[in-house]
Amino acid sequence: MKPYALLIPASLLWATTSRADSELDALLSEDVITTASRNAESSRTAPGLSTSITAEQLRIYGLRTVAEAIDFLALGISSSGQNQHGDQVELGSRGVLLAHDTGNHFLLTINGHAINEVGLGTARFDRGAGIPLELVDHIEVTVGPGSVLYGNNAMFGVINVLLKRGDEMNGAYAVLDGSTLKSYRAGAGAGYQFDLFGESGQAVLGLEYYDRQGPGFDVGLQNVELNIGGTVARTTSDDSQPGIWGGTLDNSNYSRIPAAVFSVQLGEWQLRGQAKYSAIGDPLGQDFFDEKDSRTIDKSLWFDLSHNWVLPAGVEFKTRAYVDGYSHRQYIMKDSTRCGPQQLTTCLTDKLRVSRWAGLELRSSIDWFEDQEWQTSFGVDNRIRYVGARTDRSNASTGQLYTTSIDHLDTTDVAFGAYIQQVWNPTRNVGVNVGARVDEDQRFDPVLSPRAAVSVGLWEGGVAKIMYAKAFRAPGRFATDAVVQFQLPPIDLQPETVHSAEVVVEHTYGTHRGTVGAFSTLWQDMIELHILSLEERYAEYGEDMDQFIQYEYVRLQNVAELTSYGINGAYRTSLLDGRLNGGFTATYAFSREHREDGHREVVIAPALTANARAAYTHAKDWPTLGVAAAYIGERLADRAFNNDFVPQPKADAQLDIRTTLSGSVYGMAYRLTANYAITDHGAKVIGPVQRGHDENPSAELFPVKQFTGYGELSYEF
């Protein structure tokens, strides 16, 4: 036999082995998603555009909150907020980000337990989420309407934080970190496997305390207009510069957040819960500047108990009972002229909102032929809800109440939801997912949320998905029923809805995965806190009375429509036997708000968002270098329209670059992170000047600390 004849079988063997290795790498690199349809499935075929963020990525890239993880790693989502240093972050998606929505258009869940409270739908994605990231196994981010399974609040999408299991941790940890933000965090946790009453079980517990006192800022000065009777407004806690808001901020930029989360499973039963407390200063509000006694305190406590039966013939049945409580308390120091008639001293306004809810969820799934070809899921969720509110005003020095409580709300109601979902996988390359949910609220007609998705394998490693979904967000009781000072009651407020159509093509080859897609969304009846124009104020109060109103009156109302369409794409890879990993995402959206007086840009939301990252590990005992970047394009500020500012307030494009070294030394793990933001401001107007006037024609935008450094040490035992 001639030597070159051996090349033929050798080349065939190499090709076969190479293809097998590539297919194995492709299989191992696929994300397993449970959020999109509540069943474990590949992200390639899941009925939604999904990103899975692992615990390893959180560590390597120095990410410390859910919002940071989304900004630097997820596709199609960006964040904004009045305080970019760990608090008051709001999320947007693909060209739409709604200012002051307190996170209520994204549904946040922890192991499937919905966190959004029922009064306004508030959810926190920053430090206020109270989730120790050391306990996080991965975060699933599904972009697009998700009401078909989850009901209210899932308009932008669903973010599901999945905790580690105790039997996977099988040990304990302690962690301490600090930053140039004048912050520190201390935490500890443990996870174990055990046997009890003849059943195997596992438990996990995490505790942490976060404290931040800073950073300080220099904020541009604002000349505040005269109050009733021609007096000059007090704008600082010591009255050192009456009528002038701004300057050097030292005392009021703080956060204090203790939190705990746990999960215990024994056999088919599981008990989970979370407790958190959040105290956050308000340094940039519309009243006093750098006033440490103006603050917001949030408290949250929830538990759920679930039981899962796996029955013969492919039948699974799950019951879940849950109870949640939430309170939001806002303290605001105000000038005497804003405290009430004939009040001559500074007052403290105490606004309290409370919501509590409990419910029972029943879910079942049937794998009819026990081969995952034909699967039916259905469920019902019935809950009882209570919301209450009141406002007190008192003398800031003596504590004496000026008036009895006002802005009362005290109401209880019942909400019901039911859904059905059908999955059909006739072949290995074709999948169909259709479903619908109906939600009933005593204030509105029932809302139907359908979804349909088809995935088709186009070639080896390639798949195309076509998806349509509708979602809604019903305004909370605080929006429809509460009596709020300086806010007129809404008129026939209706649920917001969104329709979304999307086409996505994904290709996986070995450890390489690329995604490209196009989307179109229609948002209807979006709720806006509308500031009354001068003409509307005249119509409401008359011209003579309006001259004595030194503050803005607002009203919640449904505006016409928003449209957004665009493209998005992502790529990720792993090279050099897994030592080099990286990827990027990008989204471009063309968004417009359609109103009776014409079309205009959507404020706060950028047209272009993107992120990129790369991480390299040279050897086991060497540190891992992780570099990540997040980009958010130029966008209009929240008060860009109808507020008489010249020029129109606009935020420059922002690029955050984060570099992290992580590794271990002397048995302890460490992380060192440096973050630099190229722009020193964000897209929200701050201070008492919320409408341009002769003394202050331009707007002051909230400041961003450009450089931040972090250091962390942790020990496992």
Structural domains of the chain in order of their starting residue, each with its CATH number: 22-716 (2.40.170.20)
pLDDT value at residue 21: 45
Give the pLDDT band of residue 80 (cuts 50, 70, 90): confident
pLDDT value at residue 255: 93
pLDDT value at residue 101: 83
Q: How far apart are CA 100 and CA 606, in angstroms?
A: 16
Decide if pLDDT at 688 tops 90. Answer: no
Q: Which segment of 9-23, 315-329, 649-663 scores lowest on mean pLDDT?
A: 9-23
pLDDT value at residue 340: 62
Q: What is the mean pLDDT of the chain?
A: 87
Q: How many C-beta neighbours within 10 Å does residue 11 have?
A: 10
**What would the mean pLDDT of 18-38 be, rounded to a whole number?**
55
Give the pLDDT band of residue 26 (cuts 50, 70, 90): very low
- Higher-confidence position of 18 and 309: 309
Decide if pLDDT at 583 tops 90. Answer: yes
Measuring CA to CA, how many Å separate 34 from each of 43, 46, 486? 9, 9, 45
Q: Which segment of 180-194, 350-364, 418-432, 678-692 scores lowest on mean pLDDT?
A: 678-692
Decide if pLDDT at 49 tops 90. Answer: no
Decide if pLDDT at 547 tops 70. Answer: no
Decide if pLDDT at 713 tops 90. Answer: yes
Decide if pLDDT at 545 tops 90. Answer: no
Q: How far apart are CA 542 and CA 532, in angstroms?
A: 13
**What would the mean pLDDT of 533-559 be, rounded to a whole number?**
69
Give the pTM: 0.91
Decide if pLDDT at 550 tops 70. Answer: no
Contact criterion met (CB below 8 Å) for 462 and 506: yes
Q: Helix or strand or coil: residue 537?
A: helix
pLDDT value at residue 7: 36
Decide if pLDDT at 14 tops 50. Answer: no
pLDDT value at residue 201: 95
pLDDT value at residue 87: 61
Give the pLDDT band of residue 552 (cuts 50, 70, 90): low
For 313-355, the pLDDT digits (tens) are: 889 999 999 999 999 999 998 877 666 655 667 888 899 999 9
pLDDT value at residue 313: 86
Parallel/antiparallel/unpaired status of strands 554-558 and 487-488? parallel
Decide if pLDDT at 17 tops 70. Answer: no
Nearest to 383 by CA among 438, 441, 436, 430: 441
Decide if pLDDT at 433 tops 60. Answer: yes
Decide if pLDDT at 542 tops 80. Answer: no
Give the pLDDT band of residue 174 (cuts 50, 70, 90): very high
pLDDT value at residue 46: 77
Q: State the greatest distance between any 2 C-alpha atoms of the chain, in Å, as a whole number.
A: 110
Decide if pLDDT at 658 tops 90. Answer: yes
Contact criterion met (CB below 8 Å) for 283 and 290: yes
pLDDT value at residue 355: 96
Contact criterion met (CB below 8 Å) for 563 and 594: yes
**Measured on CA atoms in the order 403, 552, 651, 496, is the torsion positive or negative?**
positive
pLDDT value at residue 575: 94
Q: How far apart are CA 695 and CA 166, in angstroms?
A: 61
**What would the mean pLDDT of 110-124 be, rounded to a whole number?**
93
Residues 6 or more apart whose CB falls under 8 angstroms from that of 234 comprise 242, 288, 335, 336, 346
For 222-258, the pLDDT digits (tens) are: 887 665 555 566 677 777 777 888 888 888 899 999 9
pLDDT value at residue 505: 95
Q: How far apart are CA 40 and CA 32, in angstroms?
A: 6
Q: Which segment of 134-138, 411-415, 474-478 scores lowest on mean pLDDT?
A: 474-478
Give the pLDDT band of residue 206 (cuts 50, 70, 90): very high
Contact criterion met (CB below 8 Å) for 607 and 595: no
**What would the mean pLDDT of 653-674 be, rounded to a whole number?**
95
**Measured on CA atoms in the order 559, 560, 566, 570, is the torsion positive or negative?**
positive
pLDDT value at residue 62: 95
Among 240-249, 298-307, 452-461, name the most confident range.
298-307
pLDDT value at residue 241: 77
pLDDT value at residue 187: 97
- Higher-confidence position of 212 and 480: 212
Decide if pLDDT at 449 tops 70. Answer: yes
Nearest to 710 by CA among 676, 675, 673: 673
